[in-house]
Structure 1
């Protein structure tokens, strides 16, 4: 025993952990019918490379003239779902040129581990290409469960991981799509097609005529400068016997020039991602329906292209939202909160849910405060905020709760309307949240706003994320919905 070790400490030493890992590896490899000499050589290799077992670390052992001719050893860290997700992502990249990968699962593998593994494999192997050959992609992974494993439970976990990954990949596809093709009408049709493949989902699409008839004037104002008119997509999952109803609202600006308050080029190049919130709520609802969650869910995606044209809305205009609240326009580049206001007011007045969550690539201030991986969370409810943060952590995403200071609200005052849509007082993400709060009505204490502008896009591959759209929010929302349904 090492000097100084407390003999009453039940935790294993690093040497004991290393020995246990090697024993587990040898036990798994024995299922390949390898001889003692092979096992000794592999043990020596692992000792030589000092494989730490940390989540996502990997070492490759070529074995020319042997079967199998290559072995990959990947660490899963503490063995929790996050560690297995990291391992799956690393394997997807390390074996991307291989047609098939057989993965020996250890004796103590759990359904949560298999779900993490599956999500990591499917999400890290995602590719989006238009007009070019795709790089090599791992096509088939065989999971070899240990003797005596509860295969039905592991298979169910893997099936759930596939649903989550497919919905997240759809959100990535929608967000990555260039805006010359991604019009509000195109987005709505893609959603209808996806919903048609899931039993029990219904979808309603409001075109400009229906929006005008029903009073969605903010959506119409934001989309007025484009020849490609706005839409409002409403997707509904209503399982029999559901006792709780949740509305998810996602910002769906299919491209944002800033309107008359036009953006500089540097701020406009990635504005095809300005509908990532809409993609996330659609993806989460599709996944919830595919998993048959016993929870009523309505996803609202207000879609518009904020273009510069003869009919663009202007600074100084006053827009009357659905339900009657009026907004004075101070900045046409603060358009996302306008379309969200219409959709949220409709949800509160017509749908009467138990809770409402909105997601939006809303402000640059979010990224300044929290960086590329963490969304800003605003809510007056400690319970709701905590449950969302816990869901994000379980899903492998991240958010941080921000304050909602009432003493800032007076800055939203207007001489001619109820509120203004933009101010010069700073605290941009907070001011946007306070603006949206005005549309929550009786649900003020059961509302949360997620400002996820920066996490919606990755500048490089990182874990299960690939360069480009991340699909941020699909996994978090689904985890939260699973908890709410339970």
Structure 2
């Protein structure tokens, strides 16, 4: 779908999407259309249950008095609560409805209320961003789908007075959307298509954006002493890989980078501790953390972020076979620490242990953030509403929490502590790879914390097991792979690093949202749960 921007005008054909505020109050373009159609919009609203709720819509087909095919009225919610997130929802909801109706071309009118502290250009850009996110569709394996079942929309024109500014503001957001799309594609592919070798091939073209890409094979990892990662991989016919993506966008190219580490278990059968058959097909997305890291690196490089960043993905397949590691085996990690493998389905932490150590040993990062579909326990704790956040640093935790709230990818911080760490004690090795059934997500995080070389290095672990895959459609997140984490960490980089803790990165409105059992590995010492973030609002031009 192509996105364009233009001055406000009633199109001659196609569909036009207009805004309606809470209480069935028409926006400026909707009011103009109501006059042109002899009050049809007002009558349609009166006859419907639609009240102007954000993301909801009403369709008026073949309206009298204009040559449009249809008018779609989309809710904007309360006028004093319109944010960039609201506009992204509107864009996504509009594209979803247009997809159902079969329109090939459409326009979206952006009419801001006086109460909105948003720049018109930023508002239009975020509406286009939401539309782009909502238009994602993974359909490469659908060969018998009828034409009328496929979305027909090829072009969406966003109408805004500041259309040139909107085009400029959309450019970095489009780069983020492309990063999101990459993650969603990787996560959606079946495990016979995406495995360690082909994952690396799928991201090789990121070098065109200026990324330096390196792939470590099994022999190289063995030489480095990555016994924990290789132990997970030894049961599969697919050889493991360590993918390293480096981007130097800061003014000082030699400054320590931020390290993003992703768990990339391209299929997780559970190994010898095999999972139940029901739902095992979902384990193709146990590489969700690696997918997010790849998409994030594409986003940062695509929008030319002023940051040094390195993305590392530990890529393995966890399979049962005659060569697979067994419960009770002891492996030696790159750090030299030994691990008694109690459960081969608690494999993600073993992969991350070696990649975390390698990241620190080679790059000496300023911050470390890892993402993983690590524990089923986090789904029991938080469902699909929040990702679990663990950190040894309050400032980093706060930055991640605020960024997550700003983009609608919420996290909740859970505690770490010595009492939890003791649950990992082994009788024969330095540690076990699982604790007891209690606090499964916390003990997994405690395990990872043991692989910090310098305990003072700011580190965060984000458990995305409950938020990597969606079973229902949302305006900006179609059913399937969500890419949760790409937008969150891109925003965190913009706020915490590019702006030095300031307001926002390029192309973002500075808006403050107003208030906005398996213990295996699908699978801060202060336990502060955080949901609300602080962003900032940009004053609307007079």
Same-fold call, TM > 0.5?
yes
Counterpart-to-counterpart distance in 2, 1:404 and 1:294: 32
Stretches of structure 1 lacking an aligned partner (at least 5 in a row): 1-16
Counterpart-to-counterpart distance in 2, 1:80 and 1:131: 37
The counterpart of 1:98, out of the listed 103, 107, 116, is 103
What is the CA-CA distance between 1:405 and the residue it aligns to?
2.5
What is the CA-CA distance between 1:209 and the residue it aligns to?
1.3
Aligned pairs (5 A) from 1:49-448: 49=48, 51-63=50-62, 66-77=66-77, 78-96=81-99, 97-106=102-111, 110-133=120-143, 135-137=149-151, 138-146=153-161, 149=162, 151-193=163-205, 195-198=206-209, 200-239=210-249, 241-242=251-252, 243=255, 245-448=257-460
What is the CA-CA distance between 1:64 and the residue it aligns to?
5.2
Secondary structure of 1:75's partner? strand
- Hey, what does 1:478 align to over in structure 2? 490
Question: Would you tell me which structure has more helix in proportion to its own residues?
Answer: 1
Q: Is the 8 A contact 1:348 1:443 kept in 2?
A: no
What is the CA-CA distance between 1:101 and the residue it aligns to?
0.9
- Hey, what does 1:10 align to over in structure 2? none
Q: Is the 8 A contact 2:124 2:158 kept in 1?
A: no
What is the CA-CA distance between 1:329 and the residue it aligns to?
0.7
Q: Is the 8 A contact 1:230 1:305 kept in 2?
A: yes
Structure 1 residues 62 and 353: CA distance shift in structure 2, 3 A? same
Q: Is the 8 A contact 2:366 2:457 kept in 1?
A: no
What is the CA-CA distance between 1:143 and the residue it aligns to?
1.0
Aligned residues: 460
What is the CA-CA distance between 1:357 and the residue it aligns to?
0.3
Counterpart-to-counterpart distance in 2, 1:364 and 1:87: 33
- Hey, what does 1:5 align to over in structure 2? none
- Hey, what does 1:22 align to over in structure 2? 26
What is the CA-CA distance between 1:233 and the residue it aligns to?
0.1
Secondary structure of 2:71's partner? strand
- More moved, 316-325 vs 340-349: 316-325
Deviations 1:384-421 (A, max 9, x none): 11110111111111111111122121111123221110
Structure 1 residues 164 and 121: CA distance shift in structure 2, 3 A? same
Counterpart-to-counterpart distance in 2, 1:455 and 1:350: 31
Deviations 1:28-65 (A, max 9, x none): x46xxx8x452533334334436532210111111256
Structure 1 residues 18 and 169: CA distance shift in structure 2, 3 A? closer
Deviations 1:267-298 (A, max 9, x none): 52210010000000110111011111111000
Counterpart-to-counterpart distance in 2, 1:267 and 1:51: 37
What is the CA-CA distance between 1:226 and the residue it aligns to?
0.7
- Hey, what does 1:468 align to over in structure 2? 480
Stretches of structure 2 lacking an aligned partner (at least 5 in a row): 1-20, 114-118, 500-542
Counterpart-to-counterpart distance in 1, 2:263 and 2:49: 48
Q: Is the 8 A contact 1:124 1:466 kept in 2?
A: yes
Counterpart-to-counterpart distance in 2, 1:387 and 1:320: 34
Deviations 1:225-247 (A, max 9, x none): 11110000000001252445200
Runs of 4+ in 1 over 6 A off after TM superposition: 17-20
- More moved, 248-257 vs 315-324: 315-324
C-alpha RMSD of matched pairs (Å): 2.0
- Hey, what does 1:41 align to over in structure 2? 40
